[in-house]
Each structure stands twice: as C-alpha cells, then as structure tokens.
C-alpha cells in the first residue's frame, strides 16, 4: 500500500439526520452537506470510506465511532482522518493540513465550538479502542478529556482552527452570521431554516395572544376543574 492514510466519513444519511435534528428542513440541509463533504474529500486524492447508520456497529455513539475507525485500520492503513457532515466551514485545506500534521504527530484535532471536534486525525499506534469507547462522546467535555489523557502520556495534540458544527437552530444562525464563506446552496437552506423557525415562533405567539385576549374578555363563570 503506497498511501498509508485514509479518510473516514462518519456521517448518517440525510433521512436519518432529518429525524435527529431539532429543526425543519434538516433532511434537505444534510443532503447538501453529505454531497459537499464527499466532494471535498475526493479533492484530497486520499482513499476514503463512508460509514453511515446502515454500516455502523454498536449500541452507543462511542462504540459505533470506535468500530468504524478500527475497520479502516483493519484494512491496513496507519493513519485515519475522520470527518462528519455537520461542519459547513470545513475546507479541503483543513483535511490536507491534518494529513501533513500526521507525518509528525500521532493525533490531530479540529476543535468545534461545542467542545467536541469536527475532524480527528489519529495514528494506529495512538488508537486505543477500549479507551475510545469510554470517552464522553457527544458532550462538551470530550475534547478536554482527550487532551488530559494525552497530557498524562506527554503526547501533544496538534490543533486546527476552531469551527462551528450544526446541532441546533442557534448553530445554523451562528454559521450564517459568520464572515466565513460557505456554498450558496447551503447558505440558502440555512436561511430557509432560520426563516421557518421565526415564522413558527411568530405563529405560536399570535395564537397565545389571541387566546389570552379571549380569556380576558370572558365575563361568565370561571373555569371549573373537576378531579
């Protein structure tokens, strides 16, 4: 094998993301994001593998993620660069930078604003499957826990710049308000999500206002609740 580094796209399908994310139009957004991340990965010319929910093995996120990484190492690669599908500002240059850093580092992280990471580059010698499964995945403590564990071993983590991933409506707004460039398609979908959320909030407010007004004008008997 001439190239000893592979990329793992660990990302659910757009349909699954549509069910998991707490905002409207998530399916459309992640259709675009899944297409975008694969296109960017292809530009690196590195071998890559996509592991969606249909190929993931394990009961917890930690188990599924760990098993996916292990499956790439089992193919004979010495380094794995993992990326997801929820970071619109992720660029080809971030992946290429991680690839270069792995030549002299055993762990590279692309930090996300929520305390996790949008990219991880790790060498086979540094990967400990048993330990990985017990990390506080999908929590704000994840990156700090990894950093603390490695500091005990006197291993320095090489960091990329910090980016924002999309888990909530507020994340979508942060990304559109950012000065960083994103594709026109994804920006238009994010603006649709924001507009829809505002319209829904306005509708709920008007509904409550009308009903409260009706109650205030009720001159008859008060509501009686029976046990």
Helix 184-216 / helix 26-43 crossing angle, nearest 10 deg = 160
Residue 13 and residue 172: Cα distance in Å, rounded?
Answer: 19
Residue 9 and residue 89: Cα distance in Å, rounded?
Answer: 16
Task: Name the band, by pLDDT with cuts 50, 70 and 90, for residue 24.
Answer: confident
3-state secondary structure (DSSP) of residue 4: coil
**List of residues 6+ apart from 70 with CB closer than 8 A:** 127, 129
- At residue 227, the pLDDT reads 38
Higher pLDDT, 54 or 139: 54
Q: Which helix (H) or strand (E) holds 6?
A: strand 5-10
pLDDT in tens, 87-124: 999 999 999 999 999 999 989 999 999 888 999 999 99
Q: Which helix (H) or strand (E) holds 107?
A: strand 107-111
- At residue 110, the pLDDT reads 95
* Residue 33 dihedral angles phi and psi, to the nearest 5°: -70, -40
Q: Range with the lowest mean pLDDT among 82-86, 118-122, 147-151? A: 147-151
**List of residues 6+ apart from 183 with CB closer than 8 A:** 32, 36, 88
Q: Answer whether CATH 3.90.550.10 is correct for domain 5-167.
A: yes
Residue 162 and residue 32: Cα distance in Å, rounded?
Answer: 22
Residue with tokens 């238009």: 188
Query: What average pLDDT does this structure show over 41-49?
Result: 98
User: Domain limits of the chain?
Assistant: 5-167
């Amino acid at each position: 094998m001439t190239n000893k580094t592979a990329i793992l796209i660990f990302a659910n399908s757009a349909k699954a993301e549509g069910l998991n994310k707490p905002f409207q139009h998530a399916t459309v957004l992640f259709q675009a994001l899944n297409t975008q991340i694969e296109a960017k990965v292809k530009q690196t010319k590195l071998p890559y593998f996509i592991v969606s929910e249909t190929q993931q093995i394990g009961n917890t996120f930690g188990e599924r993620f760990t098993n996916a990484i292990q499956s790439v190492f089992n193919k004979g690669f010495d380094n794995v660069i993992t990326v997801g599908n929820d970071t619109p500002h992720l660029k080809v240059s971030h992946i290429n930078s991680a690839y270069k850093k792995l030549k002299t580092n055993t762990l590279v992280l692309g930090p996300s604003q929520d305390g996790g990471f949008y990219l991880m580059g790790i060498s086979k010698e540094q990967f400990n499957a048993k330990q990985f499964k017990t990390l506080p995945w999908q929590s704000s403590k994840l990156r700090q826990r990894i950093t603390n564990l490695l500091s005990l071993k006197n291993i320095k983590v090489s960091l990329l710049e910090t980016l924002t991933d999309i888990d909530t409506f507020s994340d979508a707004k942060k990304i559109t308000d950012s000065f960083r460039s994103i594709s026109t398609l994804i920006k238009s979908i994010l603006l649709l999500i924001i507009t829809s959320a505002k319209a829904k909030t306005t509708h709920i407010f008007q509904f409550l206002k009308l009903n409260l007004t009706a109650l205030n004008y009720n001159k008859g008997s008060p509501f009686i609740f029976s046990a």
